[in-house]
Amino acid sequence: MNTQTLLVELLTEEIPPGSLNPLAKAFARGVFEALGAAQFLSPDSQLTHFATPRRLAFTVTGVLGRSPDRTVREKIMPVAVALDHEGAPTAALKKKLAALKLEHVSVTEFERAIDGKAESFFYRHTAPGQELADCLGLALAEVLAKLPAQKSMRYQLHAGRSDESNVQFVRPARSLIALWGDRIVPVRALGLLAGRSTRGHRFLSEGPLEIETAEGYVRTLHEGGRVVVGFEDRRDAIREGLIRAAQGSVVLLPEDLLDEVTALVEWPAVYEGSFDPGFLVVPQECLILTMQQNQRYFALTDETGNMQNRFLVVSNIATADPSSIISGNERVLRARLSDARFFFEQDQKKSLVSRLPLLDKVVYHHVLGSLGARVRRLAAIAVQIADMLGADRMLVERAALLSKADLVTGMVGEFPELQGIMGRYYALHDAEPAEVARAIEDHYRPRFAKDPLPESLVALCVALADKLEIIVGLFGVGNVPSGDRDPYALRRHALGVARILVEKKLPLQISELLEIALASFAEIPQMKRSTGEIREFLYERLRSLLKEAGYTSAEVEAVVSLAPERIDVLPEQLLAVRSFNQMPEAASLAAANKRIGNILKKAEQDDSEVVNELLIEPAEQALAGALSRLQPEVRDQFGAGDYTGMLKSLSALRAPVDAFFDQVMVMAPEAHLRRNRIALLGGLHRMMNRFADLSKLAA
C-alpha cells in the first residue's frame, strides 16, 4: 500500500516561550495517536515535532492515504429480545435493524454467540477504509481544542465578518499546511484551509514560501526561510554558539534559560557585549540574576567562578555588523545593573539588626501573626536544638534572629530569589560572625531535590528550626496540603527535615522536635495541640526519601511503620533488614512474625511475664530457652548499633519457632497455659521487632 510522509504546520503569531515546546509536543503526539488508532500508520512510522516562536509543526513517515478496510463484529441484541416465542423477529429487532440500515439482512445471516450469560446476535461486515483528509480533519479539531495552553485568545479570522469567523487559540493562527508527500490534504483547522504556503523569518526572509513536499519542509525553511525549525536543533546550535563565543571562559547555562531563549528565536546568532567593570562590586549573584531574569543574557565567569564584565546575547538576527545590536543591549544592561548597584549601596546603609522591627509590620499569616513573630519562634526553636546538639547557642540565636531580615531590603524586594544570599552579604558587611552570615544563607537549604544541605552546625540548627516552625504552625491552624495543592511547600519542608536528620546523622527525636516547635506557639490560642498528623506527614516524606535512595517498599515499611523516633540510624537499619532478608531463615521468620502479630492483636495481653513452670511442652521450653540465651546478646548488639549482627543472631530462632508452631497449641483450652504462651510470643515479638517489623518482609 502506498505510504508518504505527512506534514502539518500551523503558522501563528508569537507563542509564549514557556508554552511553545510543550504545545508542539502535545500537538504532534495527539494527531499521531489519532492516526494510529485509525490505522493510517505503518509499523515503522516516525513522528518528528517542530517548534519555533511562530509555528507548531510535525512530520510523520509511512502514512497511508486511505486506511484499510476492516472486518467489524457488531452486537445487535440478545436473542431473547430479538425473537418472539415462535422464532419470528420482534418489533425491537426490526427497529434496531432499521436504525442500522440492515433491513435487508435476514436473521439467519447473523452470528449467534454467548455474550456474558445470554446468547446474542452479532453482525459481521466489512467497513470501508477512511480517507486521510477525513481522519486528519477530525484529529486536528480535537487535538487543537485540548492543547495544554494556560490562556487562549479569541480573535476574528477575517476582519469585518460575522461572529462565526471568531476563533479561539493560544495565539492567532495565520496559515495551515497539510501535505501528504507532495499533495495537499484538504482539511480545515481554526478556520483555515490547508495549503502548502508558509512564511520564513520575520526579518530575514521575504514573502511566502512554497513547501513542495513534506520531506523538503526542514530544508526549505532553513535555506529559503532562514528558520531552524527543530526546537532541539536550534537549542543545540545556541549552546554551541555560546560556548564558541565564550572563547575559553565559562558560560553559565541554566537549562530553563536555554529553553526560553530557544523559544524566542528562529535563526539564532550569538554576540558578545561588555559592561563597566565597576559594577563587579555588586555581588555576582545579583548581576547574574539581573542578566538572566530581566534580559535573558548569559553571564561569563573565569575557571574559578569569578564573574567577568562580559556577557553573551542570543539574537534573532544574523548580521555582518552587529554593532547596533550589541550597543543596544549594553545600554539596556547598564541601566539594569545601575539599579542593582543602587539597591546594594542603599541596603548597606542600614544594618540587618536595625531592620528587625520592620518584620513586625509584615504579615506572615493571618492567624500566626507577623514575620517578626515567626522569627522569634524560629529563634526559640533553634536555640533548643543547639543545646541538644552542642552547638554555640549565641551564634545560633543570632543567625535565627537575622535570618529573615534581608526580606525587607531593596535588593530582595526586587529579586526575591536572592533571599538568604543577600542576607549573607549584608551580615558580612555588618561584621557579623562568618558562621552567622553563612547560616543566614544556608538555612533555606535544601530548597529542592538534590540541593546541598547546610554544612555548619549553626546553619543546621537554624534550618531545622525554620522548617519545623512552618510545618507545625501551618498544620496547627489547618493549612494542610491536599492532593496537588501545597501552597506553602510543606512537603518540601518536611523532606528537608528528613534529609537533614538522616544525611547529617543528627541524634534527635521526632517527638521532641515537634513538641519544642509546638511550644513556641503558646501565644496562639487557635493552634491545635496535637502533633500526630504532623508525624504521619513527616513519615510519608521519609518513605519517599528512602525509596528514592534505592530501598524497596518492603524494606522501608519494615522500619518506618514502627514510627521510629530516631531516623538518623535508618540507613544502617535498612541495610541490616536487607541483609537479613537475603538469609535462608528470613522467609520463615518473617511469616512467623506476621502470625505472632495477628495472635497478639486478638489476645488480651502481650507484655506479661512468662512463668517457666507453665512451659509443659518440649517445644515451648526450647523456644523459651533460646530466647533467654539470645536476650543479652541481642540487647548488647542493639545498644551498640550493630543492627545487622542483631538480625543475624535472630536467625538462630528459626528452628525453635517452627517447632513451636508445629507442636504447641497457642490457644489452649486452659486459660493459664494460653496466657503463658501468649506472653512467650509477646517476648519473642518484642525481641524480633526492636527496630523493624519483620512481618512486612513476608510474601
Q: What is the mean pLDDT of residues 156-165?
A: 60
Q: What is the mean pLDDT of residues 264-283?
A: 97
Residues 19 and 77 in one domain: no
Question: In the 8-state DSSP scheme, what is residue 566?
Answer: B
Residues 122 and 672: their CA atoms lie apart, in Å, by: 70
Last residue of a domain, one of 108, 127, 146: 127
Taking only the tens place, the pLDDT of each residue in 497-541 is 999 999 999 999 999 999 999 999 999 999 998 899 999 999 999
Judge whether residue 162 has pLDDT over 80: no
With respect to residue 220, please indicate whether it lies within any of the assigned structural domains.
yes
Residues 220 and 250 in one domain: no
Taking only the tens place, the pLDDT of each residue in 358-385 is 999 999 999 999 999 999 999 999 999 9
With respect to residue 471, please indicate whether it lies within any of the assigned structural domains.
yes
Taking only the tens place, the pLDDT of each residue in 226-269 is 999 999 999 999 999 999 999 999 999 999 999 999 999 999 99
User: Cell 540574576 appears where?
Assistant: 289
Last residue of a domain, one of 225, 245, 274: 225
Residues 466 and 400: their CA atoms lie apart, in Å, by: 8
**Helical ranges in 360-420 per DSSP H:** 371-389, 393-402, 410-414
Residues 77 and 167 in one domain: no
Q: If residue 273 lies in a helix (H) or strand (E), which one and from where to where?
A: strand 269-274
Peptide bond into 446 cis (omega under 30): yes
CATH number (domain holding residue 587): 1.10.730.10
Taking only the tens place, the pLDDT of each residue in 288-330 is 999 999 899 999 999 999 999 999 999 999 999 999 999 999 9
Residues 515 and 376 in one domain: yes
- The residues facing 79 across adjacent strands are none
Residues 450 and 365 in one domain: yes
Last residue of a domain, one of 85, 109, 127: 127
Taking only the tens place, the pLDDT of each residue in 18-77 is 999 999 999 999 999 999 999 999 999 999 999 999 999 999 999 999 998 878 888 999
Query: How many domains does the structure of the chain reveal?
Result: 5
Cell of 261: 531563549
With respect to residue 558, please indicate whether it lies within any of the assigned structural domains.
no
The pLDDT, as a whole number, for residue 108 is: 85
Judge whether residue 198 has pLDDT over 90: yes
The pLDDT, as a whole number, for residue 161 is: 52
Residues 640 and 528 in one domain: no
CA dihedral 673, 676, 680, 685 (to 10 degrees): 110
The pLDDT, as a whole number, for residue 363 is: 96
With respect to residue 555, please indicate whether it lies within any of the assigned structural domains.
no
With respect to residue 304, please indicate whether it lies within any of the assigned structural domains.
yes
With pLDDT > 90 as the criterion, what percentage of the chain qualifies? Answer: 82
Split at pLDDT 50, 70, 90, the class of 165 is: low
CATH number (domain holding residue 509): 1.10.3210
Residues 442 and 333 in one domain: no
* Distance linking the first and last C-alpha atoms of the chain: 53
Residues 466 and 368 in one domain: yes
With respect to residue 365, please indicate whether it lies within any of the assigned structural domains.
yes
The pLDDT, as a whole number, for residue 148 is: 84
Buried b (16+ CB within 10 A) or exposed e, 50-62: bbbbbbbbbbbbe
Which residue range is the domain that position 282 belongs to?
231-338
Buried b (16+ CB within 10 A) or exposed e, 522-538: eebeebeeebeebeebb
- The residues facing 156 across adjacent strands are 166
Residues 425 and 516 in one domain: yes
Q: If residue 627 lies in a helix (H) or strand (E), which one and from where to where?
A: helix 618-639
Taking only the tens place, the pLDDT of each residue in 100-142 is 888 888 888 888 898 888 899 998 887 788 899 999 999 999 9
Residues 426 and 463 in one domain: yes
Higher-scoring residue by pLDDT: 684, 159? 684
With respect to residue 347, please indicate whether it lies within any of the assigned structural domains.
no
DSSP string of 24-45? Answer: HHHHHHHHHHHHHHTT-B-TT-
The pLDDT, as a whole number, for residue 698 is: 85
The sheet with strand 118-127 has its strands ordered as 70-78, 118-127, 111-115
Judge whether residue 160 has pLDDT over 60: no
Q: What is the mean pLDDT of residues 485-508?
A: 96
Judge whether residue 150 has pLDDT over 90: no
Contact 196, 22 (CB under 8 A): no
Residues 315 and 393 in one domain: no
Residues 473 and 492 in one domain: yes
With respect to residue 417, please indicate whether it lies within any of the assigned structural domains.
yes
The pLDDT, as a whole number, for residue 152 is: 85
